[in-house]
Amino acid sequence: MYSQGLTDAKGGDEPAELLAEFQAKIDREEKIEPRDWMPEAYRKTLIRQMSQHAHSEIVGQLPEGNWVTRAPSLKRKMILLAKIQDEAGHGLYIYSATETLGVTRDQLNDELLTGKAKYSSIFNYPTLSWADIGAVGWLVDGAAIMNQVPLCRTSYGPYSRSMIRICKEESFHQRQGYEIMTVLARGSKEQKDMAQRALNRFWWPSLMMFGPSDKDSKHSEQSMKWKIKRFTNDELRQKFIDATVPQAEHLGLTVPDPELKWNEQTGHYDHGEIDWNEFVNVIKGNGPCNKERMQARIKAHEEGAWVREAAQQYHANKKSEAA
């Protein structure tokens, strides 16, 4: 999902009693807090997952920022700005929670800007039309919610609490996107076509947000045992498909998957195979917008340097005045 580029974290030699006690605590559904003992691999896995999640919130502002100046009305513009502002907040909540594991914000920032850290593949796709903003809210935030709701119960206390806060804010994101799609789907033929093309563009990349298929995802098992994750990638993806297909049908839009069909027996939709080559390629940095996104982040960071310096200087001046 927002941490789909996750790789395994290796643990050290840790006393078996401590490990057993730790697992028992997790099995009792007790939260792990920053100062509690935890296995090194648990800490590392969390740092990686949470920082990838935070980076995704931050980079996720960029595709939507593309439409702020061209939103079709003042109302839409205000809504879009509010949503983007929320995403910045989400990034900050999760960065703060990650710092409780013993990394600094500067380290995390550095990892993003030097390309060492990953963020969700979805944000490397362009937003070509206004309907894409609708599709992003509906599908991308929809997929994010599917992932984030179970994360509210994740075993690490600060992560869980930031997820609860985020989930409260998230539902307007999906609704405003679906509303954009609704208006377009019920508009002129051109508008409906535009909505359909946006769905065509964003459907498969949205499914990829849930990360590799369970059979190729090694770290899943340990994360499930530690209750960092509550559902596997494929389980969440299936939930998303089951919830979203009827929403598309309701608007008279067609999900771009010829193999998609309702399966009476399983009570789920069967779907076509995801193009995993495309997924791996985007994760590796070769998606349509990877370079552009990174450049925009670096530019924003550099051009914002004077603000941080001014704040520090202001504080220094006030201190010397007081002395």
Interface residue with Fe ion among 99, 111, 132, 141 (CB under 5 A) is 141
Interface residue with Fe ion among 43, 90, 227, 239 (CB under 5 A) is 90
- 120 neighbors 290 (Cβ within 8 angstroms): no
DSSP assignment of 4-26: TT--PPPP----HHHHHHHHHHH
> With CB under 8 A as the contact rule, which of the stretches 4-12, 125-133, 159-167, 282-290 interacts with other proteins?
159-167
Classify residue 93 by burial, with Cβ atoms within 10 Å: 0-12, 13-18, 19+.
buried
Interface residue with other proteins among 89, 150, 157, 256 (CB under 8 A) is 89
Does 92 engage in binding with other proteins (CB under 8 A)? Answer: yes
> With CB under 5 A as the contact rule, which of the stretches 103-111, 170-178, 266-274, 307-315 interacts with Fe ion?
170-178
Long-range contacts of 174-177 (CB under 8 A, 24+ apart): 174/137, 174/138, 174/141, 174/142, 174/145, 175/137, 176/79, 176/83, 176/137, 177/133, 177/134, 177/135, 177/136, 177/137, 177/138, 177/139, 177/140, 177/141, 177/142
230 binds, among Fe ion, other proteins, none (CB under 5 to 8 A by kind): none
The conformational region for residue 212 under phi > 0 = left, psi -120 to 50 = alpha, else beta, is beta
Interface residue with other proteins among 186, 225, 261, 308 (CB under 8 A) is 308
Interface residue with other proteins among 21, 30, 85, 246 (CB under 8 A) is 85
36 binds, among Fe ion, other proteins, none (CB under 5 to 8 A by kind): other proteins
Q: Interface residues for other proteins in 15-34 (CB under 8 A)?
A: 33
E strand or H helix that includes residue 180: helix 157-185
The minimum distance between CB 161 and other proteins, in angstroms, equals 8
Does 171 engage in binding with other proteins (CB under 8 A)? Answer: no
> With CB under 8 A as the contact rule, which of the stretches 46-54, 56-64, 155-163, 249-257 interacts with other proteins?
155-163
Nearer to Fe ion, 64 or 111 (CB): 64
With tokens 């999906």, the residue in question is 174
Interface residue with other proteins among 93, 138, 203, 231 (CB under 8 A) is 93
- 135 neighbors 201 (Cβ within 8 angstroms): yes
Cα–Cα distances in angstroms (integers) from residue 252 to residues 51, 126, 272, in the given order: 38, 24, 20
Cα–Cα nearest to 49, from 181, 148, 115, 191: 148
> With CB under 5 A as the contact rule, which of the stretches 54-62, 256-264, 286-294, 307-315 interacts with Fe ion?
54-62
Nearer to Fe ion, 163 or 228 (CB): 163
Cα–Cα nearest to 224, from 45, 5, 21, 76: 45
What are residue 156's DSSP bridge partners? 32
Interface residue with other proteins among 77, 161, 197, 271 (CB under 8 A) is 161
173 binds, among other proteins, Fe ion, none (CB under 5 to 8 A by kind): Fe ion
Q: How far apart are CA 205 and CA 203, in angstroms?
A: 6
Nearer to Fe ion, 26 or 79 (CB): 79
Q: Using CB under 8 A as the criterion, which residues of the chain lie in contact with other proteins when the complex forms?
A: 33, 35-37, 82, 85-86, 89, 92-93, 96-97, 99-100, 104-106, 158, 161-162, 165, 169, 305, 308-309, 311-312, 314-315, 318
In the complex, the residues that contact Fe ion under the rule CB under 5 A are 57, 87, 90, 141, 173
